[in-house]
Structure 1
């Protein structure tokens, strides 16, 4: 298994492969912001319009897993946070192609994205997932804590229904603060030093 950080140029060169990955995941029911019908053109448009420009600007990290010459998975780290959140990043679009699931790709990508966060000085990682989704045990098994659940958060991919979302976070080991001191806003949460 090879995990590679991609440049905008590398993504552009393999945009059809990434579109195929996203299309396959959404077709299998992945709740990653899209609803059926979802075409290959829709998938390609996402990568061209939403990811490619941000990747070129440098606020987004894209990792891909290549297996058997195919894009088997991808994960994003969004470091384009507001000025008061330079320590935080969002883990986004954790995708594993249905043909390659149950091979440890998700866990490997989570570890790799944490290393990318460490290199960028980001020590609080956040993400959200459809409550009860098959990715939820992966995130919890990777050390993420549930912050809360929001009911009716998004439309279901295939059904005329609404799904709850689980919001999770992980405080990384290189955080420069005493994690025991964390608590509600205004409770003296400051970085020691």
Structure 2
């Protein structure tokens, strides 16, 4: 919320179980608010909790890195982002950005940009040289990625559906991290 201080932190595998319900609430709110992040509405809280908990082995193996941003005053979850590291041996230099969500009450605080910057910095520390992502064409996220220096590759028609099941084009972006 306006003027509030926020802190970004990485979530360890052993913390994921305890955070799953709160993360699930953010996921459900995002999907029910129209966010095209891989789920159809209605999305139940139990299904969302199970989805988050199922990520624990990937987080433990560091194939998936997960960050949250929280309000410093009360620890309330304000957003999250994921980095999925490529598994094939010929792709260990790259990763995919996924599931960037900011709670509606916390939008306008540049939290998405902060989460993205933390992810990019950590990816570079891990030796990743290339990041990719996709987002719904025409969404506000496109402007975020362009402003953060991402390069638009192109658009794929009817790539994904929104939570109501309506197909939309998706824009693919990449960012070279140097090195």
SS in 1 for 2:139: coil
User: Are residues 1:2 and 2:15 paired?
Assistant: no
> Please, which of 48, 55, 62 is the counterpart of residue 66 of structure 2?
62
Calculate the aligned-residue CA RMSD, in Å: 1.1
**CA–CA distance in structure 2, aligned partners of residues 118 and 77 of structure 1:** 12
> Please, which of 27, 32, 35 is the counterpart of residue 37 of structure 2?
32
Instruction: Spell out the pairing of 1:91-102 with structure 2 (5 A cutoff).
Output: 91-102=97-108
How many Å apart are 1:13 and its aligned residue? 1.3
**CA–CA distance in structure 2, aligned partners of residues 53 and 27 of structure 1:** 27
Q: Report how many residues are paired.
A: 172
**CA–CA distance in structure 1, aligned partners of residues 70 and 173 of structure 2:** 27
**CA–CA distance in structure 2, aligned partners of residues 79 and 132 of structure 1:** 27
- The answer on whether the counterparts of 1:60 and 1:80 sit within 8 Å (CA) in structure 2 is no
- The answer on whether the counterparts of 1:73 and 1:105 sit within 8 Å (CA) in structure 2 is yes
Structure 2: gaps spanning 5 or more residues:
1-5
SS in 2 for 1:14: helix
TM superposition score normalised by structure 1:
0.85
TM superposition score normalised by structure 2:
0.92
Task: Tell me: higher relative CO, structure 1 or 2? Use CA pairs within 8 A at least 6 residues apart.
Answer: 2
Q: Which string of whole-angstrom CA distances, capped at 9 and with x for unpartnered residues, describes residues 57-98 of structure 1? A: 211110110113211111111113311112111111111111
User: Are residues 1:168 and 2:170 paired?
Assistant: no
